[in-house]
């Protein structure tokens, strides 16, 4: 309830226009939001909620009536200009008598190091003022990878039952896995139908693509983890949501 209320409140505060009747109802509504925050997520460190930012919620209506919608006096873009100064301030001795001098010196040093770095990269002096941001090389895209825990299926020679087991461990032992019978039967039938040079197919539980992880695991960290994805099956079926049961390899 608190999360939904705050999301709706933020969305309303970002409105380009606000009806006067809604603004005049804000004092009581803002008190309700503040009470909700105190009731559900009371800050337990430092001063708690006895801060200026929390108290200023009570005066937001006065600011809106005086200056217009919050977007008219938004300072987020100007806050971005302070980042270099904040980084330089962190490198000083925090001595009040020398603070401004040391911040300025650190800013100059960072600027000179950036220029030297670009000169070492082959940039001409005449082009310094075209911009001084170092162009970092674009990271190469990592190839797709299928791995994770590996499972195999087989048919018991005596009972004829289809089984699934983990990767063969120490001593050649292969621990059985409790999983849906339909999945095991499907993999056994697939293994019989596909003509492969290897004796059996493997069901892997993880696929990495473009930095995204997809899991189809029978017992990841003690429980089943099967992601949902939208698969494009082509003209016949189109895009359909599908649960990942694993990756046949």
Is residue 204 a part of any domain in this protein?
yes
User: Among 94-103, 140-149, 189-198, whose mean pLDDT is lowest?
Assistant: 189-198
In a domain, 17, yes or no: yes
**Is 104 part of any domain?**
yes
70, 88: one domain: no
The model's confidence at residue 197, banded by pLDDT at 50, 70 and 90, is low
Q: Tell whether 101 and 46 lie within a shared domain.
A: no
Would you say residue 63 has pLDDT above 60?
Answer: yes
Choosing from 130, 161, 194, the residue where a domain stops is 130
**Position 83 confidence tier, pLDDT thresholds 50, 70, 90:** confident
- Mean residue pLDDT across the chain: 83
Joined together, the tokens standing for residue 45 give 């460190």
Distance (Å) of CA 65 to CA 9, 10, 57, 60, 62: 17, 18, 14, 9, 5
What is the average per-residue pLDDT within 124-135?
Answer: 61
Query: Rounded to an integer, what distance in angstroms lies between the CA atom of residue 195 and that of residue 50?
Result: 71
112-126 pLDDT tens trace: 887 788 778 777 766
Q: Check whether residue 152 and residue 210 sit in a common domain.
A: yes
Please state the separation of Cα 125 from the chain's center in Å.
Answer: 40
Burial zone of 148 (CB within 10 Å; 0-12 exposed, 13-18 middle, 19+ buried): buried
Domain co-membership, 149 together with 123: no
Mean pLDDT of 205-218: 88
The model carries a pTM of 0.41
Confidence band (pLDDT; 50, 70, 90) for 171?
very low
Residue 219: enclosing H or E segment and its boundaries? strand 212-220
Name the band, by pLDDT with cuts 50, 70 and 90, for residue 167: low
Lowest mean pLDDT: which of 85-89, 135-139, 227-231?
A: 135-139
C-alpha–C-alpha distance, residues 133 and 120, integer Å: 14
Q: Which domain holds residue 122?
A: 84-130
Does residue 140 belong to any structural domain of this protein? no
Q: Are residues 123 and 189 in the same domain?
A: no
On whether both 231 and 152 belong to a single domain, the answer is: yes
Verify that 159 and 242 share a domain, yes or no. yes
What is the pLDDT, as a whole number, of residue 131? 59
Across 191-212, average pLDDT: 79
Predicted confidence band of residue 161 (pLDDT cuts 50, 70, 90): confident
Number of domains in the chain: 3
CB atoms inside a 10 Å sphere around CB 230: 9
Using one digit for the tens of pLDDT, what is the confidence trace for 12-52?
999 999 999 999 999 999 999 999 999 998 888 888 899 99
Q: What is the mean pLDDT of residues 164-181?
A: 65
Answer yes or no: is pLDDT of 169 > 60.
no
Determine, yes or no, domain membership for 138: no
Question: Which comes out higher in pLDDT, residue 133 or 177?
Answer: 177
Which helix (H) or strand (E) covers residue 143, if one does? none
Please give the residue that has the higher pLDDT: either 144 or 174: 144
């Amino acid at each position: 309830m608190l999360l939904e209320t705050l999301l709706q409140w933020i969305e309303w505060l970002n409105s380009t226009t606000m009806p006067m009747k809604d603004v005049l109802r804000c004092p009581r509504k803002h008190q309700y939001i503040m009470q909700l925050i105190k009731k559900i997520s009371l800050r337990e460190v430092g001063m708690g909620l006895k801060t200026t930012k929390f108290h200023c919620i009570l005066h937001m209506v006065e600011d809106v009536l005086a200056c217009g919608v919050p977007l008219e006096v938004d300072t987020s873009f100007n806050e971005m200009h302070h980042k270099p100064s904040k980084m330089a301030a962190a490198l000083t001795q925090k001595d009040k008598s020398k603070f401004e001098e040391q911040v300025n010196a650190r800013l100059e040093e960072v600027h000179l190091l950036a220029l030297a770095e670009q000169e070492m990269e082959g940039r001409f002096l005449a082009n310094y003022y075209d911009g001084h941001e170092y162009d970092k090389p674009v990271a190469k895209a990592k190839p797709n990878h299928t791995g994770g825990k590996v499972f195999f299926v087989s048919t018991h020679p005596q009972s004829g039952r289809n089984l699934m087991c983990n990767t063969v461990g120490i001593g050649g032992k292969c621990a059985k896995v409790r999983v849906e019978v339909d999945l095991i039967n499907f993999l056994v039938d697939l293994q019989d139908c596909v003509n492969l040079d290897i004796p059996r197919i493997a069901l892997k539980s993880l696929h990495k693509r473009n930095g995204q992880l997809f899991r189809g695991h029978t017992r990841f960290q003690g429980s089943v983890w099967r992601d949902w994805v939208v698969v494009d099956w082509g003209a016949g079926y189109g895009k359909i949501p599908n649960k990942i049961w694993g990756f046949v390899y």
